[in-house]
Amino acid sequence: MCGVAGCLGLADGALPDTEWVRRATMRQAHRGPDDDGYYTDPDLALGFRRLAVIELGARQPVQSADGRYVAAIDGEIYNFGELASRLRVRGVPLRTGSVAEVLVEMYAWLGRDVVRQLRGMYAFVVWDRRDRELFCARDPFGIKPFFYMLSSGAHGPQLRFASERKALAGPGEVSSLDPDALRRYLSFQYVPAPATLTPPARSLPPGHVLIARVGGSVDVFRYWRAEFKPARSPSAEAPEKILDALRDSVGAHLRTDVPLGAFLSGGIDSAALCALAAEVRPDLMTFTVGFEREGYSEIEYAAETATALGIKSVPYVVTPAEFASCLPRIIWHLDDPLADASAIPLWFAAREARRHVKVVLSGEGADELFGGYRMYYQRLAVRTGKVLPGWTRGLIGQAAATMSAGSKLAGLLDRTITPLHRRYIGNAYIYRGRQARELLRASSNRTPPPSEFDVTDPVYRQAADANLDDVATMQLVDVNTWLPGDILAKADRVSMAHGLELRTPYLDREVMAVAARLARVEKTAAGTTKFALREAVSSLLPQAVDERAKLGFPVPLGHWLADGMYGYAEQIIRTAQTGQWLDQRAALDVLRRFRAGDPGITWRHVWLLVVFSLWHQIYVERAYDPVALGWTYQ
């Protein structure tokens, strides 16, 4: 796990900006506190910060044995040992056998097809010194980030790239926002790739490569696409296949030369990983955070699980005051605004874990692959609504319109008559069409207005072509949007904020291959979720853990915002200089309606506006100085 930054001159004689590369590299020093390295030639400047966890003495950037290729990688290749053996059979001399050296020699052998041989999480660059071509790739699920932008100036046209968006444009350097990206943020609670909120910065989507040539073009291609192929009926062998794939993946993810632990909540996802890891590492340490308010802490559940598994549990309780004091720094680390409240307790969990270990296992991806979200479990009324005649759906719509906004019955009726592709854009759907437009200033609205469905419609077309059922369709939407845009983005930024490598064994190609074949009934059956996964790991866990509902680092923000944090939220929204983009009067009205108990407004509507306003103060207004505050280096 590391930080990569670089600058490629795109025209003959367009020199790379080496000073910018140095600054961008240092802004990511938290990603790699152990070492740095640089490479320069007339076309490319490349910087690297290293978090050493395997082959501790190896350095990057690294050159191939023949000197033609230069590479740097953020992430891990879990089958690098097997790949190294293949290279040795071919007679390739390996000096260190490090992940980066194996990668560059595999590229020298296979070229662009190397991405089809890799098992892991990665964002890497390979520079071909002879053909003057830069090859960049991001892993299939989007576990590791990669940002880039085209720029021009005194040095000529350039391609700049980095592991974090803040390295491309930091506080005080953001001069404009993308109104379409802001519109989608209001719906998704994050900015979907490839856009960012700060053009011209772009995010390389998961499973894509970028190829840039000096004197030529910059092109982006997809090399991998998630696919679900659910069986028509359940298989008696499914639990065994799941367990075998998980045990193999966990074993691969345990490869490290430094202390390793795991995040442990009260649910089955992390407990299963800990149980499998403890088979190999009985001294495994686990880390859990919670809050003092009843119903918002999994510390007790995690401790029970750890005791049953014979491993150590390290708890930490986050106070409201500590939450508020660390919030600006957390939002700075997140790059673009990301209003998933669970990012905050995850940040504290990473901080505590880093005091003991350098690598943690975490359960991201289990819900998306195995059907873990309650919304996948469609009520009969919703499923029946698809076949109702138009006049019946019209009557249901009229009945829903007479009910108070936000009521559960009105929501059920709305889901009954609304097609899936117009009501599901992922796990978060905060502000819908007109609601979002009412919050935006006229200058931020254009005709025709951008739609959240522009992001998900291509996924729905893929699902229709594959004739997927509703559960598999929602999984496909989440794997393409929610998982990389929210879940993995926050996991990467808050863990790397502390120089902690976070590994996700569920997001493995072999685990995906098994999960993709599960029948619908193996995901949502017997009134529960992740049915086949629960069956697979039941023998490893206490019965209470197997049956326990997932909480997922809950945060009592609803209670805080209605009480002690109300003034804090109001001050942030009121004082942020967001008037060019956001109708602050409408935003403050959302806060007021929430406190008044309006059933159509939840704390998530408020939190999304608080996060954007605070992000604007940090990155646009520079109300906070990350260097002076010790968050980063100049």
Active site residues: 2
Can you tell me whether residue 135 is helix, strand or coil? strand
Half-sphere exposure of 213 (CA within 13 A, CB side): 7
Of 90, 9, 99, give the one whose Cα is nearest residue 48: 99
Of 267, 273, 253, 188, give the one whose Cα is nearest residue 489: 188
Q: In the block, which residue shows the tokens 């978090």?
A: 51
Cβ-contact 604, 430 below 8 angstroms: yes
| Structural Rg of the chain based on CA atoms | 24
What whole-number distance in Å separates Cα of residue 273 and Cα of residue 581? 44
What whole-number distance in Å separates Cα of residue 606 and Cα of residue 616? 16
What is the side-by-side order of every strand in the sheet holding 202-203? 35-40, 44-50, 2-9, 158-162, 147-151, 202-203
Cβ-contact 323, 303 below 8 angstroms: no
Q: Provide the token pair at 174.
A: 């953001």
| Helix 566-575 / helix 603-619 crossing angle, nearest 10 deg | 50
Cβ-contact 556, 291 below 8 angstroms: yes
Residue 439 identity: L
Of 217, 152, 139, 155, give the one whose Cα is nearest residue 488: 139
Can you tell me whether residue 280 is helix, strand or coil? helix
In which element (H, E) is residue 543 found? helix 543-547
Q: Provide the token pair at 538.
A: 């039941």
Can you tell me whether residue 386 is helix, strand or coil? helix
Q: Provide the token pair at 506.
A: 């569920």
Torsion, CA 455, CA 458, CA 463, CA 464, rounded to 10: 130
Cβ-contact 610, 594 below 8 angstroms: no
What whole-number distance in Å separates Cα of residue 413 and Cα of residue 399? 8
First to last CA, the chain: 21
Q: Provide the token pair at 633.
A: 């280096």
Q: Provide the token pair at 305.
A: 């699980």
Please give the full DSSP string across 483-540, using - where no structure is assigned.
IIIIIHHHHHHHHHTTT-EEE-TTS-HHHHHHHTT--GGGTEETTEESHHHHHHHGGG
Provide CB contacts within 8 A for 310, sequence distance 6+: 278, 282
What whole-number distance in Å separates Cα of residue 507 and Cα of residue 525? 23
Q: Provide the token pair at 211.
A: 């190829």
**With helix as H, strand as E and coil as C, how does 213-274 read?**
ECCCCEEEEECCCCCCCCCCCCCCCHHHHHHHHHHHHHHHHCCCCCCEEEECCCCHHHHHHH
